Structure 1
Amino acid sequence: MSDLLLEDENNRRRALELASFIVEAPAGAGKTELLTQRILRLLATVDEPEEILAITFTNKAADEMRQRLQNYLERARRGTADAAMPAAHERVTDELARAALARDAALGWQLATQPGRLRLTTIDALCASLARQMPLLSRFGTQPAVAEEARRHYLEAAHRALAHLEEEDEPAGIVATVLGYLDNDVMRLAGLLADMLARREQWLAVGALGRPEAVLFESACALVEAELEAISALLDAGWQRPLMPLARFAASHLGGGPLAEWSDALRPELEALPGWRALAELLLTQKDEPRRTVNVNNGFPAGPDAKVQKEAMLEFLGALDEGTVAALRRLRRLPQPDHADDAVVHALARLLKLAAAELWLVFRAEGEVDFTELALRASVALGDAQAPSELALRLDYRIRHLLVDEFQDTSPTQIELLERLTAGWQAGDGRTLFLVGDPMQSIYRFRKADVGLFLRVAENGIGNLRLESLRLSRNNRSTPALVAWINGSFPAVFPARDEPFSGEIRYRPFVATRDTLPGAGAHLHSVWVGEEDERDTVARQEAAAVVALIEAEWRADPARRVAVLARARDHLGALVTAIRRHPAGWRFAAVELEPLSGRQVIQDLLALTRALHHRADRLNWLAILRAPWCGLRLADLHALAADDHQATIWSLLNDARRIARLSEDGQRRLAHLRAVLGEALAGQGRQRRRRWVEDVWRKLGGAACVEDGSALRDAEAFFERLEVIDSAGRFSVDSLEDDMARLFAAADAVTEGEAGGRLQLMTIHKAKGLEFDTVIVPGLARANPSRDKPLLIWDSFPFAAGERLLAAPVNPRRRKEAVPTLYDFLQTIEAERDANEEARVLYVAATRAIRTLHLLATCSRNRDGMPTPPRAGSPLARLVVAGVWPLAAAGESFASEGMPGAPVDSADDPATFVPQLRRLVAPRVAADWWAPPQAVPAPEAESTGAALAATLGTLTHACLEQIATDPEAWDGARLGQLAAAAEGWLMSRGWASRDSAQGAAQVVGWLRTTLGSEAGRWALRRREEQAAELALTKLGADETASESVTRVIDRSFVEDGVRWIIDWKTAWLGEAADRAQLAQHAERYRPQLERYAALLVEEGLPVKTAVFYVAHGTMLVLD
């Protein structure tokens, strides 16, 4: 057994002891199993299972861990023998599970029937739980919802803060100062402020400073002197001395300068910074490389008089080593602290505080907060170590063991939360903290994760609690050949040391435990292209290379699971097109890869929705006339609207004389559309928005216009998203397109019954935690996009006396590039951290592979046929520098191996593309539109399921509304008569006869279940103050507000002085679903029902809300 494996085995045993640990677990090490074993071990020692709290970062991870725990406990409960489990780690797990079961039985926990007592949660859910117990949030009136996407709130708060410019108060001057600094560009400042509000937990400390400009200036001076101290240790007096006469000679020929009188060694002081900077300028080129020659421009003129100095200078330059050059580069980027931006810094700090306050008011008005607010309120709710809150004391008494998964992805705010949760804990007091993660897999800087925190906690602990560091070294996923390549390549790709501040993580090797497989390993593929080739051409060539690799993998083994992983979604666009056009008809599963916003069915639905909500929206009204369900020709469109630009399109559609100008075909099509839209507009606000828009779309024939089942699923995704944003009370025509931009296509493989699919396409970030037989990583020649430039950039720097805060305002556009500013310096550090993370992203991609890894990069040749250097900042450039990727002129070229070319499809060529009008044929548009239309061919069951379910929900609501008017009259016989009417209603909305018949029978069955239950009869019983499908409209915050919100309450009445609000749900959770499962499911509707309750609060009556599951005949009251 190797030393690493022996260390791994010992550390796994040690990790199960009752002490506090931080564990490094590399990819494929089995950390989820270790966490599960740790929980089982702890269960055998606690008095209550709630004393153990395990925190993960995703619901999926929490569900996986919970399922593992339940499986292990069930396996032990069945008494599985050790002999049936030959693996040593499984025997350990079984022993731990039996001990936990014994404790369960002794103390009567009943974990088998009450698995909810196992506390496994996400960090966001924990913050929400803590924040809900905080009095401050009660000022909302009800518990606020959590906004998945809060950008619109940030923008609203930013605009409110800038609106103070119109007032005569102190904030007006603050806004004016910052606006003047940004050339009075209000839109730019609003956008920058919104960006800052999304990250406000990081800069609130800046806003809290009394005189930020003074504190930050002192920090900047301390930073520069600390950097000079480190540089001068390398470029010491002995190194400087031979350079002094050469520098003086050069300065004398350049008219002087900081080095003209240089005779004493430069000191690490701020006053000496100009001399240090002049030193770097003397020795380095504009590209930060050591000079290879010197001339008159550098102070060394031609001629015999300067020959000796010139030769001495070249000798000195030739002796510069990499460390010295790196120090000179650091000199060049050092800023010159000054007071030039003091007024702007002061104003910015105040403006940010003002915007944060406005954001809180926006949250209160909207009744929802973001995840950042939850995290901030959770920390406040716990108090601090000196003054813990009552909640913190309760938790301290209850929580004995805290476990955190994926600890490498924590943010400073989350670390602060953990510090407060463990305040007062001491080693040996019976309470333990267990942190597990892999710093080499920290790839979520965009979510504010800081890998340096992992290193700092390993070194210093959390609060007063010190943790023992353990490292695992076993890789249970990849083959020995692949592990050997990763271990041999990545040490040069990763930095050489651990440095928390810059996010540098050195490589940690691991050992393979799988058997060897033939042909396994890593392969590098250069796709050679011309230096002048267009970007689209290059993308198609790389996509063709990926297709060739997939074909080769499946020729070797048709069952092989292949994943194509990219650093960004747009890197896979050309590949998606190539796969969809593959003659074999490949299907693939994609995780949030293909945006739906550009697909025709979504564009048509967006136009329809916007037109229905705004009759003066001329562009979208014209769009629905050209959509396939109407398909008006250009001549008819011109005759209808060309000579009147003032009237709305709807008024023109109702002008009989104007309609008479159109062709017979156009008149027939408009008659159908006008009738459908006329009914829809007359009924606006009487039903839920999703139901209203979908009903119009189906009556227009939208379902008959889609080409296949995937388009129908796209439409269903649109309607579901519409329902979500409407239920959340944030529907806005203006933001509708942005809301729909977050829709992505569903997986193709599902339609063919290939669960998960043989082929999967996703980003590397989405692939984290997954594994595949073969992994293909294209796009390595692409550089990352340039960093955003925030309004204020900030950081905290470690000094001997502790950390100090640094911040700088964005550079003004009118600034002349000269001496680097503090903003430039901080941006450079951020760029270095990004570059360090790029190495980790590549590592994550490589370690997803079980058998084979293919890395692809497009490499170009110049006109002489020689390779051109890869783009700076690209993974390929990093691999070339590390010596992993040999960039040779005669490297692998798919084209030279006879790979099929990448032809340009005529549909992709703008020069030959001819647009065609897609529309339903005339016979499909019934003049008498409300008559049952011809049956529409049914798509696959998998495609229609979700859409049909939504339609059945609409029908069920309508039936319950009718039943509520006279519930006693609805007996079994009358319900049976309803089936025929329901079937006809479904057919009139475009559903096939078979689907309509089955759907009608299902609805009638639900109604029988509801009326057959005591709760259902009680909910439908007639009362004096009752309503069904009650539409209530809430106006904006004041009379000038342009938005209003309409909500439709399914069932409401007053009984015994209590206002009841009941929401009908047609969800089916299965035969085995009990009240506990239904109650858990009902919780997702709590925010929606609380919004309903808020509309009726002025009645002054106590309100009770409930969810009624019609398919189960069960009602759950939400306390």
Structure 2
Amino acid sequence: MSETLITASGDDLLAADAKARRRALEPASFIVEAPAGAGKTELIAQRFLMLLARVEHPEEIVAITFTRKAAAEMRNRILASLEMAASGVLPEAAHRQVTFELARSVLARSAELGWALQSQPQRLRILTIDSLCASLARQMPLLSRFGAQPAVAQEAGALYAEAAAETVALLDEAALPFVAESLSWLDNDTARLQRLIAEMLARRDQWLHHALDESLAEASARVLNQLVDEELVEIAGRVDDKLQHELMPYARFAADQLEDGATLTCLRGWDSPLAPSADALPMWRALCDLLLTGTNGLRRSLNKNNGFPATDEGRAAKQGLLELLDRLRDDSDFEAALARIRMLPDPALHADEGEVVEHFAALLKLAAAQLFAVFQRHGKVDFIEVSQRAIAALDDGSGPTELALKLDYRLSHLLVDEFQDTSPTQIRLLELLTTGWMPGDGRTLFCVGDPMQSIYRFRKADVGLFLQATQRGIGGAPLEALRLSRNNRSCPAVVDWVNQAFGAIFPPADQISRGTIRYRSFVATHEPLPSAGVAVHPLVLPAGTLAAERDRLEARRMLAIIDGVRADDPARSIAVLVRARSHLSSLIAEIRAHRPDLRFSAVEVEALADRQWIADLMTLVRALSQRADRVAWLALLRAPWCGLILADLHALAAEDRRSTICALMADEARVAALSDDGRARLAHVRKVCEEAFAHAGRMPFGRWVESTWLRLGGPALLPDAAAGEDVEAWFGLLDRLVDSGEFSLERLEDEVGRLFAAADAGADGRLSFMTVHKSKGLEFDTVIVPGLHLRSGQTDTPLLRWEDVATGDGGSTLVVAPVRTRRNSAETTSTYTYLQKLEAERALNEELRVLYVAATRAVRALHWVGACEQADDGSLRQPSSGTPLRLLWPVVESLFGASAVSVVPPADSHGLPSWEDFVPPLLRLRTPGEPECIVRAAEAVETETPGLEQEPADTEGRYRLEAAVGTLVHRYLEIFARTGCDGWTVGRLSSLRQAMVRWLGGEGFADADADKGAARALSMLERVVASDTARWILVPREQAASELTLASRSETAIRLHVVDRSFVEDGVRWIIDFKTARLPDGADDAAFAEHARRYRDQLDRYAALFRDEGLPVRCAIYYVEHDRLEHASAETPWAG
């Protein structure tokens, strides 16, 4: 593209842009295409201000965004505009002057109608789509079937998995056939069926309404022909009538030479162009087989197997067809059109596929019902459920609801930001909100976005919806299309390259069904900058180069780019943008190994679970939760706070594989076999663990784990402040799971796997690593995009694949096919395969848009980094299909070819160790022990652990079991106090027996002892829920607390106290201690009084903790086994 053409086109684009911006500020409905850097947020804020100056109430305008950050940015921009107008200082920039005048009009309107917007900004209704849905659902809880408002689960995977497992376990008469047939199709792989159901539940907004309304198999049969017809119409446009007439004599000749039954025989007598309909599909396929090889390339040779025998007539026909194919070889559209024929499905589902579709559909409807039951049980829902209930609140199936009519009256203007990211469910919501709107009634819909930045397919966003809305409008609002063309972010050198490169590789036309968007050029308004432009950094490698070596070389190339930018101008911001977080691992490893001084901010890149200090915490919680877990305990002893060498671990545990590690740690003979250093290290850990188990159940679980970690010396292992933030996030997660009753080791591990390590707090923000998706809306002086040779993600294999096909009546229906198994894996023309390829095409189109988003983050410079290999003959191998480099190849191939003369060697001259030789040193405390601050405190701290009284016992094992039973009972008494006793029936308690047995087993008790302990705990708890005395103790009341931890200080000591139950009633402070001791049968009042007297001093100390309240104090012991409340002291002398 010449400079002259760019300038001329730029002038035209700028003029069209200015006209579109003026039009967008008129009171009509629009859909606006705003490319990257176009000032979209400023325009939507101006639109909001323009509408404010026209309405009677600010609440008539609702602006919708997709993130809280975007909503806050829009709100702040509008309020800042009002402040600017109130100051009276006219800004210099022309676009800001427009904003200034609009804001002045709003202030005048606000003063006229008494809005007081600057002091009451909450009247500006700027919401996320999720908060809007939740608001709608709350307004009609009965219709929305919410009842009490549930919490919204940010990650609902565990809920989906639970519902899926319950669905597969359904054995009633109605469900069993569907479960059985579904399992049969999947070769009785129960785990796979559960996983696939859970994945489908995460997308149920896309299929459930169809499954409820009609037979999916019948619907597929109706529209498969329509789909094939639409495909063939497009193919016939590439293989036109004239070309078909040229091909006919060769096809007839070949068909006549082949025996009956061959694919080509259907072309005998072919004398008219093929109809673009499913009925003619066999002939289209035959033509495809005649002209294409098995790899979908045009044939370069023909033989008798293709219908061209070695006769004079055969050779003449072969020569004529090959010449025709040579002429067509440069027409890539023709070749692609033929190849597409091969992916078309048969126009009907195979019989067994139709049956299994119905079974799957029935099973999924049951799963959706199970999921709702799971939601109710947990008091949580997902975002899909909120959206569905919001839709139900607006439309009950027979028309608009009362709420919809009320909103129709109150809502005058709707603005939607980032419209390219909308999903079908969100479009349905917008349709309901605008139902009944009529052109000219004064109500407007304003949608703005950039279809070239639609990159959220994994969130069910569909770029085709943008195109569809442009063509058809939404609900009752026809939309006038506007297009912006300015780029206020990037310098001309970057913009020109982006226009030229992406204009060449984007699809040539918009197509709703395939999710394709043609490229829209834009023009830079930024002044030219020195050292600006786009660079491609080819890494041409010898054949057979290992992936690890390739990644290391790429990382060093990126570091060289970063160093070069910083040498030129240290103040410039640099971002390394990747399509998948794993693509940063090589660069981060290289920096950690060889450039630890290079500080960077990695935004949601490094998994929290990969940090060593988090792995140590996971080891600790596993060991504390499961005393019999040998692997966890060996890891605990190997961890840095102990650091036993392998020889010591072997001496401790190798010859006894039956005993728990806890038991072996207490075996003095085994401990004596350790090295001197090993004994000292083990003594530290053993002491901490013994004290930890003495406190087990006497404080909140998270606090218990944290106190153990502190005493082990965990903080000494944290290298920086970011590590401290990681640990804080981990303990916060642990507390949330415990408090919600959802804690298990598996759930904790799953949730930790979803978190990311904190970014380096010491980084100055000039060097950032993040995904392309995370970078949307941001800009950087220099952008580096590595990993062009790498694929990102994998295509999923859902239980059902589907395609939502528009029908003639304006509605839609699904074409559905079941997951491929051994039954249908050989069917290359299956509907499932066709739908899978359609989805792969959409993914590839989105990959192009991801590259566009990455490129348009750059202000001054853009760097692409990718690798390819040389073949054995020295030529370049084409990049793998599905990679960004393959997509960019038409633009960058010549640059890689030029680099082929200087192939990057497999090793460089830095003299640094390779990754295979580099092992990061593991931290190991030099002298393990409690941190000095804790040691000093411990010398003056006495910890009181009441409740599990150490009475004489026949054996240590019996005492341990009694103590564990006491822990169980105390835990459930705390739960009863929090939830109330009414819901705890004997039946519900009985259902806990197996959980108690498992917990006791995890504490190291034999099965018989665990069963005995669970029975005793249940017996006591059954007495509690039936006891008026216990209910009186546990009922919620003023200042009530259970397991209350308090501290007192004397001149020489700090004492920690755990009070089982305390509350205020009738002006008296009650302190009650729970005892699970079993007194002898026939014990009289005197026996109980004598037993309680042992704890008088302890209870008096508790009472002293409340002396500053000035209330009378009464202390008592509740004997759970005997359902007896024994007063241990009268009113204390320090009361009142």
TM-score by length of 2: 0.79
Gaps spanning 5+ residues in structure 2: where? 1-9, 947-972, 1000-1030, 1044-1136
Structure-2 separation of matches of 1:222 and 1:160: 38
Contact map agreement 1:880 1:887 (CA 8 A) in 2: no
Aligned to 2:205: 201
Query: Are residue 619 (structure 1) and residue 624 (structure 2) matched?
Result: no
Q: Percent identity?
A: 50
Contact map agreement 1:475 1:513 (CA 8 A) in 2: yes
Query: Are residue 388 (structure 1) and residue 416 (structure 2) matched?
Result: no
Aligned to 2:269: 262
Structure-1 separation of matches of 2:365 and 2:399: 25
Question: Of the candidates 728, 751, 773, which is equivalent to residue 762 of structure 2?
Answer: 751
Aligned to 1:120: 126
Q: Secondary structure at the match of 2:430?
A: helix
Aligned to 1:132: 138
Q: Give 1:242 shift.
A: 4.3
Aligned to 2:1024: none
Gaps spanning 5+ residues in structure 1: where? 935-954, 963-1025, 1046-1051, 1065-1119
Question: Of the candidates 36, 40, 61, which is equivalent to residue 45 of structure 2?
Answer: 36
Aligned pairs for 1:301-340 (under 5 A) are 301-320=309-328, 321-336=331-346, 337=348, 338-340=350-352
Aligned to 2:728: 716
Contact map agreement 2:141 2:148 (CA 8 A) in 1: no
Query: Are residue 1039 (structure 1) and residue 992 (structure 2) matched?
Result: yes
Structure-1 separation of matches of 2:553 and 2:788: 14
Structure-2 separation of matches of 1:60 and 1:539: 35
Question: Of the candidates 83, 86, 89, which is equivalent to residue 77 of structure 1?
Answer: 86
Structure-1 separation of matches of 2:865 and 2:187: 45
Q: Secondary structure at the match of 2:757?
A: coil
Contact map agreement 1:545 1:899 (CA 8 A) in 2: no
Structure-1 separation of matches of 2:707 and 2:431: 53
Question: Of the candidates 524, 530, 534, which is equivalent to residue 512 of structure 1?
Answer: 524
Aligned to 2:253: 249
Cα RMSD, aligned residues only: 3.4
Question: Of the candidates 188, 194, 215, which is equivalent to residue 190 of structure 1?
Answer: 194
Contact map agreement 2:611 2:757 (CA 8 A) in 1: no
- Which letter does structure 2 place at the counterpart of 1:865? G
Q: Relative to 1, partners in 2 of residues 1:1038 and 1:122: Cα closer, same or farther, differing over 3 Å?
A: farther
Aligned to 1:559: 571
Structure-1 separation of matches of 2:1040 and 2:316: 95
Aligned pairs for 1:877-1026 (under 5 A) are 877-881=886-890, 883-891=891-899, 905=913, 908-909=915-916, 918-922=923-927, 924=929, 930-932=935-937
Aligned to 1:853: 862
Which whole-Å deviations, capped at 9, do the CAs of 1:870-901 have from their partners, x for residues lacking one?
111212112223x4542553228997799965
Q: Give 1:621 shift.
A: 1.6
- Which letter does structure 2 place at the counterpart of 1:274? P
Question: Of the candidates 693, 711, 721, which is equivalent to residue 699 of structure 1?
Answer: 711
Contact map agreement 1:672 1:929 (CA 8 A) in 2: no
Aligned pairs for 1:85-164 (under 5 A) are 85-136=91-142, 142-164=148-170
Question: Of the candidates 590, 603, 619, which is equivalent to residue 591 of structure 1?
Answer: 603
Aligned pairs for 1:133-532 (under 5 A) are 133-136=139-142, 142-164=148-170, 167-232=171-236, 234-235=238-239, 238-256=242-260, 257-260=262-265, 261-265=268-272, 266-320=274-328, 321-336=331-346, 337=348, 338-383=350-395, 387-532=399-544
- Which letter does structure 2 place at the counterpart of 1:263? W
Question: Of the candidates 35, 52, 58, which is equivalent to residue 26 of structure 1?
Answer: 35
Q: Secondary structure at the match of 2:126?
A: strand
Structure-2 separation of matches of 1:699 and 1:175: 52
Which whole-Å deviations, capped at 9, do the CAs of 1:766-801 have from their partners, x for residues lacking one?
101000001111111223444111110111223555
Q: Give 1:917 shift.
A: 6.8
Contact map agreement 1:672 1:926 (CA 8 A) in 2: no
Q: Secondary structure at the match of 1:922?
A: coil
Contact map agreement 1:19 1:432 (CA 8 A) in 2: yes
Structure-2 separation of matches of 1:928 and 1:570: 40
Q: Secondary structure at the match of 2:526?
A: coil
Q: Give 1:407 shift.
A: 0.3
Which whole-Å deviations, capped at 9, do the CAs of 1:370-409 have from their partners, x for residues lacking one?
1111111111111169621222222222222111100000
Query: Are residue 741 (structure 1) and residue 746 (structure 2) matched?
Result: no
Q: Give 1:903 shift.
A: 6.1
Question: Of the candidates 632, 635, 645, which is equivalent to residue 647 of structure 2?
Answer: 635
Which whole-Å deviations, capped at 9, do the CAs of 1:201-244 have from their partners, x for residues lacking one?
01113421443222211221332234334434554555434434
Which whole-Å deviations, capped at 9, do the CAs of 1:722-773 have from their partners, x for residues lacking one?
234334443221122221112222222x325x2xx11011111110100000
Structure-1 separation of matches of 2:989 and 2:742: 12
Which whole-Å deviations, capped at 9, do the CAs of 1:1047-1070 have from their partners, x for residues lacking one?
xxxxx9999997788999xxxxxx
Q: Secondary structure at the match of 1:341?
A: helix
Contact map agreement 2:722 2:759 (CA 8 A) in 1: no
Structure-2 separation of matches of 1:665 and 1:844: 57
Contact map agreement 1:544 1:902 (CA 8 A) in 2: no
Structure-1 separation of matches of 2:214 and 2:587: 54
Q: Give 1:175 shift.
A: 0.9
Q: Secondary structure at the match of 1:866?
A: coil
Contact map agreement 1:382 1:388 (CA 8 A) in 2: yes
Structure-1 separation of matches of 2:34 and 2:63: 17
Contact map agreement 1:489 1:884 (CA 8 A) in 2: no
- Which letter does structure 2 place at the counterpart of 1:610? R
- Which letter does structure 1 place at the counterpart of 2:589? T
Structure-1 separation of matches of 2:934 and 2:243: 91
Structure-2 separation of matches of 1:798 and 1:210: 15
TM-score by length of 1: 0.81
Q: Secondary structure at the match of 2:897?
A: coil
Q: Give 1:669 shift.
A: 2.9
Question: Of the candidates 844, 869, 880, which is equivalent to residue 835 of structure 1?
Answer: 844
Aligned to 1:4: 13
Structure-2 separation of matches of 1:894 and 1:903: 21
Q: Relative to 1, partners in 2 of residues 1:450 and 1:876: Cα closer, same or farther, differing over 3 Å?
A: same
Q: Give 1:865 shift.
A: 2.4
Q: Secondary structure at the match of 1:625?
A: helix
Contact map agreement 1:455 1:500 (CA 8 A) in 2: yes
Rg larger in structure:
2
Contact map agreement 2:34 2:40 (CA 8 A) in 1: yes
Structure-1 separation of matches of 2:415 and 2:784: 34
- Which letter does structure 1 place at the counterpart of 2:482? L
Which whole-Å deviations, capped at 9, do the CAs of 1:225-284 have from their partners, x for residues lacking one?
343344345545554344344334333444232442333434444443222211111110
Q: Give 1:819 shift.
A: 3.8
Structure-1 separation of matches of 2:883 and 2:634: 45
Structure-2 separation of matches of 1:182 and 1:524: 47
Contact map agreement 2:641 2:928 (CA 8 A) in 1: no
Aligned to 2:1070: none
Q: Give 1:58 shift.
A: 0.8
Q: Give 1:611 shift.
A: 1.6
Structure-1 separation of matches of 2:39 and 2:340: 41
Contact map agreement 2:14 2:486 (CA 8 A) in 1: yes
Q: Secondary structure at the match of 1:362?
A: helix
Aligned to 1:807: 816
Which whole-Å deviations, capped at 9, do the CAs of 1:701-722 have from their partners, x for residues lacking one?
1112334444333322322332
Contact map agreement 2:539 2:904 (CA 8 A) in 1: no
